[in-house]
Amino acid sequence: MEEVMENERNILRFMIRFAIFAGILFVIGRMLDAKRRELSNMTETEARAMFVDKASPKMGEEQAREIADQVIPVLIEKGLLKPDPADEAAEKVEDAVDGVADAAEDVKDEVADAVDSVVNDD
């Protein structure tokens, strides 16, 4: 009889330990998900500022910036940060400048061909 009670206590202990362990894992998972959602609403500049602000008091601003420089590219690669609007605008301006340069080159070639045809017709 005592052996059965001891076995039941062991099972109850196991279930309590398992429930505590599962609860800890659940809390950690929720914290990580909340941090992921927080970061997904930030741009690169905002995330960099947040990392530096949080880490500076503990390790100094210089080292905090170095760590942020290592962490931010990983977060960008994983798609957790929104792109900076300034970077997107710069890319669009670059594309527009390239388009204008190509169009200017085409016009230059056409004008040169027209001049050659006028000069050669005489």
Per-residue pLDDT tens for 53-104?
A: 888 888 888 888 888 888 888 888 887 787 777 767 777 778 888 888 888 8
Sequence letter at residue 76: I
Element (H, E) at 89: helix 85-121
| Whether the predicted pLDDT of 122 surpasses 60 | no
pTM confidence score: 0.49
Q: How far apart are the first and last CA of the chain?
A: 122
Q: What is the pLDDT of residue 53?
A: 86
Torsion angle, CA of 52/58/60/64, rounded to 10 degrees? -30
**Residue range 33-47, pLDDT digits in tens:** 988 888 877 888 888
6-7-11 Cα angle (round to 5): 115
Count other Cβ atoms within 10 Å, centred on residue 118: 9
